[in-house]
A and B are shown apart, each in its own frame.
Chain A
Amino acid sequence: MPRPDAETSSSSMLVLPKAELGAVIRRLWDEGYTVVGPILAQGAIVIDELRTADQLPIGWTEEQERGTYRLKKRGDRAYFGFTVGPHSWKKYLFPPKLTLFTLEWGNDALAVHPSPEPVPRYAFIGVRSCDLHAIEVQDRTFLHGPYPDPHYKARRDHALIIAVNCAQAAPTCFCASMGTGPRVDRGFDLALTELADVFVAEIGSDRGRALLDGLSARIAGPDELDAARRVVEETAGQMVRKLDASDMPGLLYENLEHPRWDDVAERCLSCTNCTMVCPTCFCHATEEVPDLAGGRSERVRQWDSCFNPEFGHVAGGNSRPEIRARYRQWLTHKLASWIDQYGVSGCVGCGRCITWCPVGIDITEEVAAIRGSAEA
């Protein structure tokens, strides 16, 4: 195995032959990480355990539009020649269903036992800029509030991130207008830009650098750096959708009775898809699941949605009984009150809610409609 020379151990931009990605994945498993990344399954590119580089959707891409997602063969062997699918990394950091603790009781005794769930050390491969920003957004919810969530923290603290700069934009993408991409700018251990035969790898941490130790990485030359830069520029140039996110609290708070809410309520099915695919939506319900034998139960939390009719349930009734109120809550929270709560928008421009809406509701179009005929 070649030894890393002094130069590669100090430069932050290296070149890695594509074939070496398999060695990186193997090394991560050997180090005890649970490696997850994009794979082909269920007719889509989803995120799941990744044992070998062969499982990546090499040579595949997808067509996305409002309410549409179709896999498609590329004419090449690109490893990351696609954008984002229905899954995001929140399914690992904030699992869809998680036992918080278990209870055990009998005569005159009641005990609370900590969560029995394993906490894997994750290595994420193929994280896009929008999703890196989404992780930062969820960090603000789960780590930086008055009561940090220990379950999120346990998973987040050790997660290793290998990001990928997008080499194409889907028609549903609008990260450029949200200031969240397409170039990966922070929060990664390694960031890859895919060229024809190699990855240009930007080192983001000592842990990321150590991953390439002993592999045939070399310092990137000016042509390679230039090519890598062009990849992201071209992606930004492809982006057709945009969202004018200026003064969203002002716009939406002043337009809570705008007729567009009635209009969108006619189309919205309140199916919750947008909130399930959204990489920042964090609402969850807790439920107690008793053991059939009695004397034991689990307190389980699972993803909830402000589109679920029970979401607003209180003893006296329902605070949001109709779809108009629920869509208004979702959009107003995502784009306006999120900023008041966390200092950033809840939208990272990934476009998932547009693709996966069964009736093709487009968040950028709804905002534009309200902005175009705002009441104040």
Chain B
Amino acid sequence: MSTVAQRSPAQIDPATDPYCPHPAIVTAVDPESPGVATFSLRFLDPAIQAEFRYRPGQFNMVGRPGVGEVPISISGAPGEGSGLRHTIRFVGRVTDTLREIQPGALVLVRGPYGSHWPVERAGGFDVVLIAGGLGLAPLRPAVKALLADRSRYGRLTLIYGARQPADLLFTTEYDAWQRQGMELLVTVDRADASWRGRVGVAPPLFRKIALDPARTVVMTCGPEIMMKFAIQEALSRGVAKSDVQVSLERNMQCAVGLCGHCQFGPLFLCTNGPVFSYDAIERFFGKEHF
């Protein structure tokens, strides 16, 4: 009979352990709006940094030692510095501790995870991006990727709504995006004295834009109620359900399809999502408390 070692120690290699994060350094912190900042990061291990590849719409788990980790979409564009860029709202136990961190601070990152916006598949199509509030962060890499290859696409439109002018993200980039060939329709729920733009919710702006419904891809991210109306607008214009792409949010703790928190019916948001074709989620989308 073969002999078996007594209580062998753990033989778990961090390199193959999906839970093990990698240290990264904060290289820049750019305030975006009240309570929101963009953090640029770089992995300490040059090999991990060199291998890091992601697609627009994917996310990382970002952690603070001693505090914990949270899923954060990647707001950087491939080819933009290290590419590791996260736009974060200081809203929870973990993200609150990011409020005071400065360049040079060390954080923990693992990823990228999840599905991505179908930027390649949209070639030859009109593309409408419709975002609410912080929902522009995971769409920013899609904006950059579409504009980097502008001639491949038809009309490009970004509809963007925020509660108030101060909450609008990436405002310094809007001119460049328009110059490069994307139409922007920006609106706020509540104007302030300085605001000269639109007031009102974002989804009805869909009716203002020209598009070829048979050849249009819609990508939306924001509060579920906003996305619900955005989807209705897209479908009523005749866009196919499979061409409406929706990014969902749920509690997420492992990002690798094991912890169970992000389940949405049969789907795990972390591994099957967060970006879904509307036809894949239609059955459950909008079901109260599902």
Contact = CB atoms under 8 A, between A and B. Distances in A.
Interface string B235-266: 00000000000000111011011111101011
A154 B143 CA distance: 43
B46 interface: no
B66 interface: yes
A294 B66 CA distance: 8
A87 B13 CA distance: 30
A287 B23 contact: no
Nearest to A150: B12
B12 A115 contact: yes
B6 interface: yes
Contacts of A313: 251
A120 B9 CA distance: 8
B119 to A, nearest CB: 22
A93 to B, nearest CB: 13
Interface string A141-172: 11001111111001000100000000000000
Contact of B10 (A110, A118, A322): A118
A286 B258 contact: no
A151 B261 contact: no
Contacts, number: 176
Contacts of A314: 249-251
B260 A325 contact: no
Contact of A284 (B5, B13, B68, B258): B258
Contacts of A33: 4
B287 interface: yes
A251 to B, nearest CB: 14
Contacts of B106: 105, 108-110
A284 B259 contact: yes
Interface in A291-340: 294, 297, 299, 301, 304, 306, 311-316, 319-322, 324-325, 328-329, 332-333, 336-337, 340
Contacts of B257: 145-147
Interface stretch (B14-22, B120-128, B159-167, B203-211): B14-22
B266 A112 contact: no
B7 A282 contact: no
A369 interface: no
Contacts of B249: 314-316
Interface in A122-142: 141-142
A112 B1 contact: no
Contacts of B49: none
Given A101-B17, A286-B253, A319-B289, A306 B260 contact: yes
Nearest to A118: B7
A260 interface: no
B283 interface: yes
Contact of A315 (B21, B92, B271): B92
A83 to B, nearest CB: 27
A71 B216 CA distance: 67
B1 A210 contact: yes
Given A112-B22, A118-B7, A158-B4, A147 B256 contact: yes
Nearest to B224: A316
A32 interface: yes
B44 to A, nearest CB: 8
Nearest to B288: A325
B259 A105 contact: no
A211 B69 CA distance: 46
A96 interface: no
Contacts of B8: 118-119, 121
B11 interface: yes
Contacts of A115: 10, 12
Contact of B65 (A148, A297, A304, A315): A297
A260 B45 CA distance: 55
Those 4 A-B pairs whose CB atoms lie nearest each other, nearest first: A283-B260, A340-B266, A147-B256, A325-B289
Given A288-B66, A337-B266, 14 more contacts: A101-B20, A105-B65, A110-B106, A119-B11, A146-B257, A146-B271, A149-B258, A150-B17, A154-B11, A284-B260, A285-B253, A287-B68, A313-B251, A340-B265
21 contacts: A100-B20, A110-B44, A112-B14, A114-B20, A118-B9, A119-B10, A141-B258, A142-B258, A147-B18, A211-B1, A253-B265, A282-B258, A284-B258, A286-B19, A287-B68, A288-B69, A299-B19, A312-B250, A313-B251, A314-B249, A337-B263
Interface of B: 1, 3-14, 16-23, 44, 63, 65-69, 89, 91-92, 104, 106, 108, 223, 249-251, 253-254, 256-261, 263, 265-266, 268, 271, 283, 287-290
